[in-house]
Amino acid sequence: MSCRIPSQILVQSGVLVAGLSMQHRVMRSMGLHRLQFERQVNRLAASVVRSGTAAHVAPYACHNGLVSLDGFDARISTCVRQYRLFSDLYDFDVTVVSIDDPDEALVSRLVLQGVAFDSGERILKRYLGALQWKP
């Protein structure tokens, strides 16, 4: 399931801000071995193509950990990068992968583009707080 805000603000040539999108994907093993299935899950979580050029944004700073969410445990990877010219704006890239069930997994992703750090943090808090899943 994917959701995104259909409009963004163009602040500079090639720089769109105030974007929000999220995507939830549920993977179910159909006869795969646990090792094979987790390889597919890891591949899916890492397969995202991110956009951004070195002229406009700085590299990501990331933090990840295993966290108990509502109904499941997950590995959450939160990456934040700052805009070079607009120092108040940040990109958030959050990947949540459930880790409990060897036969079923949730891979969820939240992307915030060009938002203030406080706003991004508030949305992240809300997103993680609202995320529910029962394997």
Partner 1 sequence: MEAVMLIEQLGSHGHTVLRQRITGAGTQCRIGRDLGCDIVVDDEHAAPQHAVLTLLEDGRVRVQDLGTRNGTRVDRKRVPADTGIVIEQGEIIVGHTQLFVRTRHTPVGQERVFRREFVRRYRTPLAVLGVVVCLAFAAFYQWLGAPASLPRAMLTGALVAFGGLALWTGFWGLMSKLNKGRWEVRIHLTIASIGAALCAWGYWVAGLVAYAAQWSALAKVGVAVVGAAAFAMLYLHLREATHYGRRMSLTLAGVVTVLICAVAWVVAVGVDASDVNRVELGPDVRLGAQRVVPNRDIADYLTEVDKLQIHAGRHRQRSLLDAPLADAGE
**Separation of alpha carbons 102 and 135, rounded Å:** 10
Q: Which is nearer to partner 1, 4 or 59 (CB)?
A: 59
Taking a C-beta distance cutoff of 8 angstroms, is the pair 12, 85 a contact?
A: yes
CA angle 60, 66, 70 (to 5 degrees): 110
Give the list of residues 6+ apart from residue 132 with CB closer than 8 angstroms, or none.
Answer: 69, 70, 71
Under the binding rule (CB under 8 A), the answer on residue 58 touching partner 1 is yes
DSSP category for residue 87 = T
Under the binding rule (CB under 8 A), the answer on residue 45 touching partner 1 is yes
Q: Which is nearer to partner 1, 7 or 89 (CB)?
A: 89
Under the binding rule (CB under 8 A), the answer on residue 28 touching partner 1 is no
Contact letters for partner 1, residues 60-89 (x by CB under 8 A): xxxxxxxxxx---x-xxxxxxxxxxx-x--
Biggest alpha carbon–alpha carbon distance for the chain: 50
Taking a C-beta distance cutoff of 8 angstroms, is the pair 63, 81 a contact?
A: no
Selected binder of partner 1 within 17, 57, 111, 112 (CB under 8 A): 57
Q: Which is nearer to partner 1, 11 or 18 (CB)?
A: 11
User: What is the contact surface with partner 1 in residues (CB under 8 A)?
Assistant: 12, 32, 34-42, 45-46, 49-55, 57-69, 73, 75-85, 87, 90, 93, 95, 97, 99-102, 105, 117, 121, 124-125, 128-129
